[in-house]
A = this chain, B = another copy of it.
């Protein structure tokens, strides 16, 4: 029987607000058992001390535990929940709930979702070639599981180094990629993104030394976030498959810099939306189900030759500036602000740019 993917975009009134999802479940629009992933854009700072992410995960887990007759921990193990902090500028806090069900409808080709996990990583593997290779293998597994014809977005949740993990590795005589736990987040995201790139043939092979260093190596579809709560990579792959049914489709493009409106237009057009005069007219905007993009300040300190101040601002973190900026560019293209713009884009698109994916309904 063909599968069908559903994507529900649900506004949040605050990071602990799960009432919108509860209402969908109550109404029978969605069954809890069908949920495979939840991506959330919460209104914290998106940096080290952003607790809105864990708060949202806790609220979702407690609510879904009641629906699934499971413990909150079991829910978290079953549903991939990736919270991206930071709704700077005009961005609007919301959840994207991904669900998969079997359907008696014919397989006409549609958005398809695959998921897979790597093995647990030893601390000394994180942010290194072993991390890249295991990620690539899991991405291939997820693609096969979903029978994808093409791949447009790969969400990776990956681990980081903690003081305890570093100590455990060193007690065994192993060395780790970095002693700076914050830096380990970037290395883990970078290795994960390169794993995606390797699986998709975007790059050939990756020496350890390139991870976190060579910004010319990147994936055009990876979106990675690091979390302390796991020791493996959790992977959700989105693409189109002739073996699936439904009214949704996905496309993507790569922004070459933070103000690359034409790339966003290309992704919109790829998903069948027409931003004719520059911004989607309301009827087209209503068919836009999700826009997912990465934002990062260019390391050169410049955008098309003009200086930006993101990297020198000690009051507002650079990634916050970048999300506000890319959010503005994407809102200009779409006429919407409930967009999934996330930061931390090591090896995810070129320096200062990043991937942008669009999920759309084919018809109103």
- A: residues with CB less than 8 A from B are 11, 13-16, 43-45, 47-52, 54-55, 58-59, 62, 72, 87-94, 258-259, 261-262, 265, 275, 277-279, 303-304, 306-310, 312-317, 320-322, 324-329, 331-333, 335-338
Q: Which residue of B lies closest to A339 (CB)?
A: B306
Given contacts A90-B258, A259-B90, A321-B90, contact A337 B45 (CB under 8 A): no
> By CB atoms of chain B within 10 A, which of A92, A261, A303 has the most?
A261
Is A307 a contact of B15 with CB atoms below 8 Å? Answer: no
Contact A51 B58 (CB under 8 A): no
Select one of B48, B275, B313, B326 contacting A312, CB under 8 A: B48
Q: Are B49 and A314 in contact, CB atoms less than 8 angstroms apart?
A: yes
| Cβ contacts under 8 Å, A58 to chain B | 16, 55, 58-59, 62
Do B48 and A51 touch (CB < 8 A)? no
Give bound CA distance, A277 to B269, whole Å. Answer: 12
CB-based contact B324/A88 at 8 Å: yes
- The answer to whether A49 and B303 touch across the interface, beta carbons within 8 angstroms, is no
User: Known contacts A58-B58, A314-B49, A331-B329; is A278 also within 8 Å of B306 by CB?
Assistant: no
Query: Nearest-CB distance from A18 to chain B (Å)?
Result: 11
Complex formed: what's the CA distance from A307 to B10 in Å?
A: 12
Residue of B nearest to A315 (CB): B315
Please give the distance in Å from A100's CB to the nearest CB on chain B: 27
Query: A277-B262, A328-B328 in contact; A51/B62 too (CB < 8 A)?
Result: no
Choice from B15, B45, B317, B329 contacting A332 with Cβ under 8 Å: B329
Known: A50-B314, A278-B262, A303-B337. A328 touches B55 (CB 8 A): no
Contact A51 B59 (CB under 8 A): no
Question: What residues of chain B lie closer than 8 Å to A16, measured between beta carbons?
Answer: 51, 54-55, 58
Partner of A259, one of B303, B309, B328: B328
Most buried by B among A49, A92, A314, A332: A332
Contact assessment for A317 and B314 in the assembled complex, using a CB-CB cutoff below 8 Å? yes
Contact at A328–B51, with CB atoms within 8 Å? no
Q: Which residues of B contact A315 (CB under 8 A)?
A: 45, 47, 49, 315
Distance between Cα atoms of A162 and B92 in the complex (Å): 21
* Distance in Å: Cβ of A351 to nearest Cβ of chain B: 14
With beta carbons under 8 angstroms apart, the residue of B45, B91, B259, B277 that contacts A314 is: B45
Complexed CA–CA distance, A94 and B305 (Å) = 13
Residues of B within 8 A of A48 (CB): 312-314
**Given contact pairs A51-B51, A261-B278, A303-B92, A324 touches B333 in the complex (Cβ within 8 A):** no
Residue among A14, A52, A54, A307 facing the most chain B CB atoms (10 A cut-off)? A307
